C-alpha cells in the first residue's frame, strides 16, 4: 500500500509544470525603455521625472497578472519594508572562487597573483571580489574573514566572465508616451495642491456681518 502511494506521489511530481523564470526588468524594458529610446532626455533630473511618473501613474495602477493585485497595493500590504544595509547590498553582488594557497603564501586568479596570510599555506581559501575590479580581493577561510590579499602581479582587472548585458533593440511607437504620462502626473499633483488664499475667505465674510450687526 505504501509502495503504491509512493508511486502515485512520484507520478504527480513528474506531472508538475516546469517553473517559469520571471525577468523582473521585462516590464521596464518593454514599456518604459522602449519609449525612452525615441525621445531626447536633457539630464538625469528629467529622466528621473519621466520614470517616477510612469511608475506612479502606469505601473503601480495596473493589476499584475500573477498576483491579481496592483503593485502599489501589494507593496504597502505588509507595511514599510526593511531596507538592507549598504554592506549587505555590496556582499550580494560579489563573486567567490576557491584557491589553494601555495608554499610561498600566494594564490592566483585568472593570471593575477596575490599574497595571503602565511597561516593559510596548504589550505584552500575563498577569494571574494567584485568581478569588475580584481585589484581588491577579500580572503576568507571557512567563511571567516582574513583580510585583503596583497596584489603581487595584476595581469587583468576584470573577470573574464564579467560582461555588461547589451540593451535589447527598442522599437518606437511614434508617440511621446512618457511625456504624456509626465504631463498627466503633473496635472494631478497641481490639482491636489491647497489654495491657501481661499482658506480665510469665509471667515472674512462672517467678520463683516458681525461688524454690521454691531453698528445697527
Please write the tens of the pLDDT for every residue from 185-203. 888 888 776 655 655 555 5
Grid coordinates representing 159 are 573577470
Tell me the β-bridge partners of 140: 126, 145
- What region, left, alpha or beta, does residue 112 occupy, with left being phi > 0 and alpha being psi -120 to 50 degrees? beta
The answer to whether 173 touches 195, Cβ cutoff 8 Å, is: no
What pLDDT score was predicted for residue 2? 47
Tell me the β-bridge partners of 97: 127
Q: How far apart are the first and last CA of the chain?
A: 103
What pLDDT score was predicted for residue 138? 96
Intervals of the chain under pLDDT 50: 1-2, 16-17
CA–CA separation, 51 and 25 (whole Å): 14
Return all residues near 133 (Cβ < 8 A) that are at least 6 apart: 157, 158
Q: Would the pTM count as exceeding 0.75?
A: no
What pLDDT score was predicted for residue 1? 45
Grid coordinates representing 204 are 472674512
Amino acid at each position: 500500500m505504501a509502495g503504491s502511494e509512493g508511486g502515485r506521489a512520484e507520478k504527480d511530481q513528474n506531472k508538475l509544470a516546469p517553473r517559469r523564470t520571471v525577468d523582473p526588468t521585462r516590464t521596464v524594458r518593454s514599456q518604459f525603455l522602449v519609449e525612452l529610446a525615441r525621445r531626447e532626455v536633457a539630464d538625469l533630473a528629467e529622466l528621473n521625472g519621466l520614470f517616477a511618473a510612469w511608475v506612479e501613474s502606469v505601473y503601480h495602477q495596473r493589476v499584475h497578472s500573477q498576483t491579481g493585485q496592483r503593485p502599489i497595493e501589494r507593496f504597502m500590504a505588509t507595511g514599510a519594508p526593511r531596507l538592507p544595509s549598504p554592506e549587505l547590498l555590496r556582499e550580494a553582488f560579489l563573486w567567490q572562487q576557491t584557491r589553494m594557497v601555495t608554499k610561498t603564501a600566494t594564490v592566483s586568479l585568472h593570471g593575477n597573483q596575490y599574497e595571503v596570510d602565511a597561516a593559510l599555506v596548504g589550505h584552500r581559501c575563498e577569494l571574494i571580489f567584485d568581478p569588475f575590479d580584481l585589484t581588491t580581493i577579500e580572503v576568507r577561510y571557512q567563511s571567516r574573514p582574513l583580510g585583503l590579499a596583497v596584489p603581487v602581479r595584476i595581469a587583468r582587472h576584470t573577470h573574464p566572465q564579467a560582461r555588461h548585458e547589451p540593451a535589447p533593440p527598442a522599437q518606437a511607437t511614434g508617440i511621446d508616451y512618457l511625456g504624456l504620462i509626465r504631463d498627466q502626473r503633473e496635472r494631478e499633483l497641481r490639482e491636489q495642491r491647497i489654495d491657501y488664499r481661499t482658506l480665510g475667505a469665509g471667515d472674512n465674510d462672517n467678520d463683516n456681518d458681525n461688524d454690521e450687526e454691531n453698528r445697527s
